[in-house]
């Protein structure tokens, strides 16, 4: 007997009283569902049956598979041949005879499907109409799923709430992976990551893990809330967080998490023709933290996707979790809890249903249970489990007969369930139909590898290529490179050189370079002082030292005149850091650098002055040699004038004395000349008179008188002559004295003239007496203002 399944219905099994088929309207699952049953109750088989029916109805499914059972959906064999079953029979089941075991399994499935009214054609239709894909994040066994390799910004038009929810889920899950239990409202790690991602996404910028780690150290925002970033989350603590995240990224085991198909819900649920897909996300190979991470990201993406869909009352897509233990617990708030509760509360309006499967209802939060409208209840282990379940059912549907359901639960057999729906008046007991899929149990990685076709792998790879088309693929990093800035010692300022600076060529900087080479930007205040030179000169020494291959050698410093505007606080987008050999994370490295720089300046930095020891003059800072020589000449001229003035004082005194003596000598000459001329005239007059008198006397007085008169006249004439001679001698003496004084004055004048020439020559020579004076530094004159780490784009 073949069972005809009505459209938009799911054939789950048969009623035990009359073997009539039990159908569930697919739309009932928009109110979500819960499958509860203890181990061995058959809940995994019921889940597989429900998924087969949903997929046969063209409903795409996202199947989260923590245990590894759901890959069994790919084990459908329309011909039901023993050879189809043989590869999947375990050694324990084969019991030494795999052929016989395969024959028995094939017959068992034929009989079971026949009893359930399922023809092989229905199996073929399922295989042909649905694309089954097993995704294995963190593994290449199935299709690798790139969970965090590319934090793609949401599509344009995504509502703010969806973006916030997705960011919150990612931040919580990522921090959980590194052992940080992050409260979205109280954890500064969570707040920082969320703000960074939101800042990028709100600008349409996608991220990868490396870029996120880099932005943790140098966030694009200066404040978080109203508090300064460095106050809220100091750099040293941000570096510690970055190092934790980098440890995750650096793990070889984590490399596969950034490989494979991009996490795209639309692509996972629908093929290019709009046909349904079964996306099975296998988590059995992961740790509990890693499972939380994947589930959180996956469901956060699902929330964003569903909010972008138009409203409908039909079941557009189904989410199934095979074992929900630990993902939405009644106590605590793991990262996965919020997106699960969000889906249970909001997904109905978008035609998305969620079915949760669990062994114990006490493992599920009361809010989750109360949002489920369809219940499939199998055998329970304890009365406590039953009470918890019934309380949840009563909260979701006040009309349910709790007592009747409780009694029915106690009488259930294996693979029997009670179906209760808020759309149905009475609960119904049914036994699950036979699964079209062979159910050998959890699949190994090797088995998953066998079930993943080469065609699927190629298609997945093609989607990866398509996703990065038009974007430049990042070059693989060398061993000495990192996408994350290496840790720098506390209190050391980190800056990024603007490649447009005028001295870029000196540093080998590239305007388009993304590879950043470490260097030190150094600013030092120098004081040159010398008491004799009356010198107190302050100078600024600026340089950049790069690369940092080890201990700082200040001899390699490149002198530049840098400005704070040359150094940016943000790294260029897509930066790759060349890891320096220098231990820049240690404070001792920078202390040693300062000591080396100070020692270099002490030994090598000096100021050269021009010194005139004769004039005791020193050149000024910035004064040229020619200007200093001119100043020396001026000073020498002043000294010449000063000595000439002294010489003039002495000369005036001597000239005054000589001139006074000359005046006296002139008077004496005039007096002597007058006296001499007077006496000479008197002598001549006396001689004339005497001769005349003698002649007259001789004529008048006789011979005696004449002789007497002549003799007397001669005596008088001689006396007059002697007196005239003495006057002439006095005149001569006076004239000689006068001439001598004139010569003395002339000699004094010449002597002074020579002295002035000698003074002039002497000071002219002194003005040319120039020496070079070197003013060095004391170590106390060297004050290091800053040693900052600067990243220089070189390629």
Tokens of 643: 């000595």
Residue 752, helix vs strand vs coil: helix
Residue 785, helix vs strand vs coil: strand
Burial of 63 (0-12, 13-18, 19+ CB in 10 A): buried
**Which of 173, 167, 142 is closest to 68 using CA atoms?**
142
pLDDT value for 679: 66
For residue 397, pLDDT beyond 70? no
- Average pLDDT in the 114-138 region? 94
- Average pLDDT in the 568-580 region? 85
Q: What would be the CATH architecture of the domain defined by 625-774?
A: Orthogonal Bundle (1.10)
Instruction: Specify the range with the lowest mean pLDDT, choosing from 116-120, 539-543, 738-742, 782-786.
Output: 738-742
Q: How far apart are CA 384 and CA 420, in angstroms?
A: 20
pLDDT value for 327: 94
For residue 584, pLDDT beyond 80? yes
The alpha carbon of 192 is separated from its chain's Cα centroid by a whole number of angstroms, namely 15
Q: How far apart are CA 373 and CA 718, in angstroms?
A: 180
Average pLDDT over the chain, rounded to whole? 86
The enclosing H or E element of 655 equals helix 625-701
Residue 780, helix vs strand vs coil: helix
Name, of 286-290, 433-437, 547-551, the range with top average pLDDT.
433-437
Could you identify the residue written with the tokens 């079915």?
355
Instruction: Specify the range with the lowest mean pLDDT, choosing from 18-32, 600-614, 642-656, 666-680.
Output: 666-680
**CB atoms closer than 10 angstroms to residue 630:** 13
pLDDT tens for each residue of 653-708:
888 888 888 888 888 878 877 777 776 666 666 555 555 555 555 555 555 555 55
**Which of 435, 423, 390 is closest to 409 using CA atoms?**
390
pLDDT tens for each residue of 505-550:
999 998 888 899 999 999 999 999 998 888 899 999 999 999 998 8
For residue 574, pLDDT beyond 80? no
Could you identify the residue written with the tokens 């050879």?
83
Work out the pLDDT band at 2, boundaries 50, 70, 90: confident
pLDDT value for 699: 54
Work out the pLDDT band at 449, boundaries 50, 70, 90: very high
Strand partners, 559: 543
pTM for the predicted model, two decimal places: 0.65
**Angle of the 235-250 helix axis to the 188-201 helix axis, nearest 10:** 80
pLDDT value for 680: 67
In the chain, CATH 1.10.287 sits at: 625-774
For the chain, helix, strand, coil in percent to 5 are 50, 15, 35
Work out the pLDDT band at 466, boundaries 50, 70, 90: very low
pLDDT value for 703: 54
Tokens of 336: 């996965």
Is the CB of residue 5 less than 8 Å from the CB of residue 24? Answer: no
pLDDT value for 110: 96
Instruction: Specify the range with the lowest mean pLDDT, choosing from 57-61, 449-453, 463-467, 536-540.
Output: 463-467
Q: How far apart are CA 541 and CA 556, in angstroms?
A: 14
Question: Dmax over Cα atoms in the chain, in whole Å?
Answer: 226
* Cβ-proximal residues to 705 (8 Å cutoff; 6+ apart), any chain: 697, 698
Q: What is the number of residues in the chain?
A: 795
Q: How far apart are CA 609 and CA 771, in angstroms?
A: 8
* Cβ-proximal residues to 45 (8 Å cutoff; 6+ apart), any chain: 415, 432, 435, 439
Instruction: Specify the range with the lowest mean pLDDT, choosing from 62-71, 380-389, 702-711, 718-727.
Output: 702-711
Q: What are phi and psi of 423, to 5 degrees?
A: -95, 0
Work out the pLDDT band at 103, boundaries 50, 70, 90: very high
Work out the pLDDT band at 471, boundaries 50, 70, 90: very low
For residue 453, pLDDT beyond 70? yes
pLDDT tens for each residue of 737-765:
878 888 888 888 888 888 889 989 999 99
Tokens of 666: 């002139």
pLDDT tens for each residue of 41-77:
999 999 999 999 999 999 999 999 999 999 999 999 9
Tokens of 325: 């233990």
State what percent of residues in the chain have pLDDT above 70: 91
Tokens of 751: 């002597």
Residue 401, helix vs strand vs coil: coil
pLDDT tens for each residue of 148-164:
766 787 877 788 888 88
pLDDT tens for each residue of 211-240:
888 888 888 787 888 888 889 999 889 989
33-36 and 374-377: which strand pairing? parallel
Is the CB of residue 142 less than 8 Å from the CB of residue 450? Answer: no
For residue 585, pLDDT beyond 90? no
pLDDT tens for each residue of 168-189:
988 988 898 888 888 888 899 9
For residue 470, pLDDT beyond 50? no
Work out the pLDDT band at 142, boundaries 50, 70, 90: very high
pLDDT value for 36: 92
């Amino acid at each position: 007997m073949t069972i005809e399944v009505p459209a938009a219905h799911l054939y789950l099994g048969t009623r035990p009283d009359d073997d009539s088929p039990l159908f569930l309207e697919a739309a009932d699952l928009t109110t979500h569902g819960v499958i509860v049953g203890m181990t061995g109750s058959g809940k995994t088989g019921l889940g597989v049956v429900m998924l087969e029916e949903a997929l046969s109805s063209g409903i795409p499914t996202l199947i989260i598979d923590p245990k590894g059972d759901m890959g069994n959906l790919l084990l459908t064999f329309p011909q039901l041949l023993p050879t189809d079953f043989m590869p999947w029979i375990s050694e324990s089941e084969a019991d030494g005879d795999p052929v016989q075991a395969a024959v028995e399994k094939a017959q068992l499935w034929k009989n079971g499907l026949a009893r359930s009214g399922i023809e092989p054609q229905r199996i073929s239709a399922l295989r042909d109409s649905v694309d089954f894909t097993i995704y294995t994040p963190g593994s290449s066994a199935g299709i690798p799923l790139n969970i965090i390799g590319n934090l793609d910004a949401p599509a344009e038009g995504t509502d703010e709430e969806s973006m916030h929810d997705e960011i919150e889920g990612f931040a919580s899950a990522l921090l959980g992976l590194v052992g940080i239990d992050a409260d979205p409202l109280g954890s500064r790690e969570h707040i920082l990551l969320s703000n960074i991602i939101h800042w990028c996404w709100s600008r349409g910028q996608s991220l990868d893990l490396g870029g996120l780690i880099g932005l943790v150290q140098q966030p694009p925002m200066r404040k978080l809330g109203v508090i300064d970033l460095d106050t809220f989350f100091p750099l040293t603590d941000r570096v510690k967080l970055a190092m934790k995240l980098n440890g995750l990224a650096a793990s070889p085991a984590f490399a596969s998490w950034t490989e494979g198909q991009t996490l795209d819900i639309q692509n996972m649920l629908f093929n290019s023709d709009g046909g349904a897909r079964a996306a099975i996300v296998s988590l059995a190979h992961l740790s509990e933290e890693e499972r939380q991470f994947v589930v959180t990201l996956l469901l956060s993406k699902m929330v964003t996707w569903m909010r972008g869909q138009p409203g409908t009352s039909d079941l557009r897509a189904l989410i199934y979790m095979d074992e929900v233990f630990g993902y939405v617990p009644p106590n605590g708030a793991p990262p996965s809890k919020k997106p699960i509760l969000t889906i249970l509360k909001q997904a109905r309006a978008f035609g998305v249903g969620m079915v949760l499967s669990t062994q114990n209802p006490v493992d599920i939060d009361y809010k989750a249970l109360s949002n489920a409208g369809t219940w499939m209840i199998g055998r329970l282990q304890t009365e406590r489990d039953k009470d918890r379940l019934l309380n949840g059912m009563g909260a979701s549907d006040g009309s349910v007969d709790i007592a009747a359901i409780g009694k029915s639960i106690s009488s259930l057999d294996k693979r029997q369930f009670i179906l209760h729906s808020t759309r149905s008046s009475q609960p119904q007991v049914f036994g699950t139909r036979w699964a079209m899929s062979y159910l050998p149990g959890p699949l190994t990685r090797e088995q998953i590898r066998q079930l993943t076709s080469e065609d699927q792998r190629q298609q997945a790879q093609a989607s990866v290529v398509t996703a990065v088309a038009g974007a430049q693929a990042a070059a693989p990093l060398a061993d000495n490179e990192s996408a994350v800035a290496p840790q720098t010692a506390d209190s050391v300022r980190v800056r990024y050189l603007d490649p447009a600076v005028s001295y870029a060529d000196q540093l080998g900087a590239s305007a388009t370079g993304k590879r950043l080479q470490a260097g030190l930007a150094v600013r030092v205040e120098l004081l040159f002082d010398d008491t004799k030179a009356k010198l107190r000169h302050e100078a600024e020494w600026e340089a950049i030292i790069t690369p940092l291959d080890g201990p700082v050698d200040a001899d390699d410093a490149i002198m530049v005149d840098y400005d704070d505007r040359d150094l940016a606080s943000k790294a260029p987008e897509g930066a790759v850091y060349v890891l320096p050999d220098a231990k820049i994370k240690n404070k001792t490295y920078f202390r040693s650098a300062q000591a080396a720089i100070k020692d270099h300046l002490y030994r090598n930095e000096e100021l050269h002055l021009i010194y005139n020891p004769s004039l005791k003059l020193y050149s000024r800072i910035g004064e040229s040699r020619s200007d200093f020589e001119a100043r020396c000449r001026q000073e020498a001229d002043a000294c010449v004038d000063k000595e000439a003035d002294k010489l003039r004082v002495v000369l005036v005194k001597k000239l005054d004395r000589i001139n006074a003596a000359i005046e006296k000598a002139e008077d004496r000459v005039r007096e002597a000349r007058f006296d001499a001329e007077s006496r000479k005239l008197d002598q001549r007059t006396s001689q004339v008179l005497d001769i005349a008198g003698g002649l007259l006397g001789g004529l008048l007085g006789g011979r005696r008188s004449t002789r007497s008169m002549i003799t007397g006249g001669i005596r008088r004439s001689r006396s007059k002559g002697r007196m005239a001679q003495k006057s002439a001698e006095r005149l001569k003496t006076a004239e000689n004295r006068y001439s001598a004084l004139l010569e003395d004055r002339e000699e004094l004048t010449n002597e002074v003239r020579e002295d002035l020439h000698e003074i002039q020559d002497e000071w002219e020579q002194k003005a040319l007496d120039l020496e070079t004076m070197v003013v060095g530094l004391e170590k106390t004159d060297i004050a290091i203002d800053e040693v900052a780490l600067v990243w220089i784009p070189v390629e």
